[in-house]
Amino acid sequence: MQKGIVKPSRQQDMKKNEPTNIQSKQPTDVPSAVPLEDQKEQSEVKGESTTKVPPSPTPQTQTDSSWYYPNSTVKSSSGNNLSLESNDNSDAITEWYKNKIRGMNMNTKTFVKTNSNGNILNKLDGVGQGTEVRVEISRQRDQPLTKITVSL
């Protein structure tokens, strides 16, 4: 053995590979599922500040009558959904709804027109100013009526 170099004993080597107990601080304040109002009160007691999230806009509970196509009959109206039928040409109906969506200055507008072997399916979407609207206009080639579905 060389002078100045000390080789650790076998027991000392084994101790290096043994797990060591490391104590960590456990959180003393564990969050719980407490309603926001109660959390605010608890936070005030602890001297913390919280920020309340403003509530989402309340969805409309009834379909706005301004979405009824003028020359149509109502098949059903339930909550935010409206189902109409009209004898008018599907292109005229589509243009009426496009103008309505554009006139509301909605931020996002999507207009898709499809004609497959005389079967019409036009979809119009608009989002903006706290309103979202989806309009579907369909007409089967062998049917006299155009169906209109509006969802707000």
Q: Quick check: is 133 in a domain? A: yes
* pLDDT tens, position by position, 98-123: 999 999 888 889 999 999 999 999 99
Q: Is 70 exceeded by the pLDDT of residue 131?
A: yes
**Closest C-alpha among 138, 137, 131, 135 to residue 150:** 135
What is the chain's length? 152
Note whether residue 126 is domain-resident.
Answer: yes
Beta strands in the chain (DSSP E): 73-78, 81-86, 108-116, 119-128, 131-139, 146-151
- Which CATH number characterizes residue 86's domain? 3.30.310.10
> Residues near 134 by Cβ (< 8 Å), separated by ≥ 6?
123, 124, 125, 149, 150, 151
Whether 125 maps to a domain, the answer reads yes
Task: Name the token pair of 14.
Answer: 């084994």
How many angstroms separate the CA atoms of 3 and 58, rounded?
84
In a domain, 119, yes or no: yes
Asked if residue 9 is part of any domain, the answer here is no
Q: Is residue 24 part of a domain?
A: no
Which residue has 């989806």 as its token pair? Answer: 134
Average of pLDDT values for 124-145?
Answer: 93
pLDDT digits (tens, 9 = 90+) for 18-35: 554 545 445 445 444 444
Q: Is residue 21 part of a domain?
A: no
Instruction: Give the chain's domain count.
Output: 1
Q: What is the pTM of this model?
A: 0.58
Is the separation of the CB atoms in 94 and 137 below 8 Å?
Answer: yes
Which domain covers residue 79, as residue numbers? 73-151
Residue 22 placed within a domain: no
